[in-house]
Amino acid sequence: MQKTTRRLADGREILYFDTGDGRRHDAVDRRPLDPTATASEIRHDPLLDEWVAVTAHRQGRTYHPPADECPLCPSREGRRTEIPEADYQVAVFENRFPSFAGGPGPLSAQEPDGLFGHRPGAGRCEVVCFTADHDASFADLTPARARLVLDAWTDRTAALSRLPGVEQVFCFENRGREIGVTLGHPHGQIYAYPFTTPRTARMLHTATAHRERTGRNLFDDVVAAERADKSRVVAEGEHWTAFVPHAAHWPYEVHLYPRCRVADLTALDEGARAEFPHLYLDVLRRFDRIFGPGEPPTPYISAWHQAPRTAPGRHDFALHLELFTIRRTSGKLKFLAGSESGMNVFINDVPPETAAQRLREVGNE
């Protein structure tokens, strides 16, 4: 992999990742941009013991521009974008409208009992452009290009984990208007959080309790049980297993685990890195075939779960990717209504075994 680092007109960093063909990235961003101004703050919810980001500056972010005004396409004559180059393979740059930015600040409280704690939303947010082709998707990438994205995710995980105040790095892709995507170009994002996210904290808590109760690792036991059961396994290779979880929250949901448990992307061995693109592309293509021919591309969220940097129990955490769609059947979406949004109790209309069977079936189409 070849990495080139440059700066955009307002000082934000942009990185180009290439397969090592010696290409140069010397284009200069000549847009008349003012320095970015962020107002990110995180506030502590004392009832749930969770942090919430308040980011008023994001209200003005780009929203569904026409394809010929896409800010993630390569620049061309008369049209300068976030990518100064006329072409690229994978590009990563600091988000112009970040949810988290800057270094850490002190914890403050505006109430005598200290209930309403708040501090600056330290961290960093990056945009990952998977390809220069505006009309493509991740599933259209070759295994070599998908491997390049994996290498970029790994590079950024290592770099962002070293930033002061960063506790957890989250690489993810939102795909489809139904998910809430505001830019149609194939891309993902990376959030460097200044805290351990609530979902991860809960998994760490249950993993610790399982270790104390059984002496074993919870993630290892779950993967072993799914592989032994087989009814929910969608695809597997020498180094990875993809399955619909026993208690799937979403209509179609697949988790991908490496056979050898590691804490984050930086710890994957070469065998797992080489196999991942093939298995992941296979699963993504199955997702686009779930609802039959003639259906629009399946909207999804693809999310890497990585261990926090310093949290207790980090050594027991297992890197894994969760892929799910909010489409429950043709033309119908799964909305997070009263039970899900109000009580965090999911009601799933598609039995996980049925979802797994369907995903296995479409693998042969």
Q: What is the pLDDT of residues 294-305, one digit of tens each?
A: 899 999 999 999
Provide the total of helices (H) and of strands (E) in the chain, helices listed first: 6, 17
Please give the pLDDT value at position 227: 98
Same domain, 247 and 308: yes
- Identify the pLDDT of residue 289: 96
Q: Which burial class, exposed, middle or buried, applies to 278 when counting CB atoms under 10 A from its CB (0-12, 13-18, 19+)?
A: middle
Res 193 pLDDT > 90: yes
Q: Are residues 211 and 181 in the same domain?
A: no
DSSP state of 234: E
Q: What is the pLDDT of residue 158?
A: 98
165 with 217, same domain: the answer is no
136 and 169 co-located in one domain: yes
Q: Confidence band (pLDDT; 50, 70, 90) for 63? A: low
- With beta carbons less than 8 A apart as the criterion, state whether 98 and 38 touch: yes
Residue 184 and residue 230 in one domain: no
In contact, 43 and 118? CB cutoff 8 Å: yes
For the chain, how many structural domains are there in total?
Answer: 2
Where does the pLDDT of residue 226 fall: very low under 50, low under 70, confident under 90, or very high at 90 and above?
Answer: very high
Cα Rg of the chain (Å, integer): 21
Task: Count other C-beta atoms under 10 Å from residue 247's C-beta.
Answer: 8
CA dist 148 and 134 (Å) reads 18
Q: Which residues, at least 6 apart from 288, have a Cβ–Cβ distance to it below 8 Å?
A: 139, 297, 298
Q: Which of 195, 217, 245 is the last residue of a domain?
A: 195
Cβ contact 73:183 at 8 Å:
no
Tell me the one-letter amino acid at 84. P
Query: Phi and psi at residue 288, in whole multiples of 5°?
Result: -75, -10
Q: Which of 143, 175, 195 is the last residue of a domain?
A: 195
Measured on CA atoms in the order 196, 303, 354, 180, is the torsion positive or negative?
positive
Instruction: Identify the pLDDT of residue 137.
Output: 97
Task: Provide the 3-class DSSP secondary structure of residue 240.
Answer: strand
Q: Are residues 190 and 206 in the same domain?
A: no
Q: Are residues 128 and 262 in the same domain?
A: no
Same domain, 245 and 310: yes
211 and 121 housed in the same domain = no
Residue numbers annotated as active site? 187
Query: Are 204 and 161 part of one and the same domain?
Result: no
| Backbone torsions φ then ψ of 67, nearest 5 degrees | -55, -35
Average pLDDT over residues 181-201: 96
First to last CA, the chain: 34
What is the structure's pLDDT at 302? 98
In angstroms, the Cα distances linking 319 to 169, 175, 240, 306 are 12, 22, 11, 5
Average of per-residue pLDDT across 333-349: 95
Q: How far apart are CA 163 and CA 251, in angstroms?
A: 37
Query: Do residues 86 and 206 share a domain?
Result: no
What is the pLDDT at residue 163? 95
Please tell me the predicted confidence (pLDDT) of residue 280.
Answer: 98
The CATH number of whichever domain residue 177 belongs to comes to 3.30.428.10
Last residue of a domain, one of 195, 215, 238: 195
The gap from C-alpha 223 to its chain's centroid, in whole angstroms, comes to: 21
State how far the Cα of 261 lies from the Cα of 258, in Å rounded to an integer.
6
Distance CA 299, CA 287 (A): 9
Q: Does 156 have pLDDT greater than 80?
A: yes
Joined tokens for residue 198 = 């609530």
Nearest of 196, 173, 149 to residue 312 by alpha carbon: 196
| pTM of this structure | 0.96
Same domain, 137 and 235: no
Neighbouring residues of 78: CB distance < 8 A, sequence distance ≥ 6: none
Distance CA 66, CA 183 (A): 9
Q: In terms of residue numbers, what domain contains 312?
A: 199-364
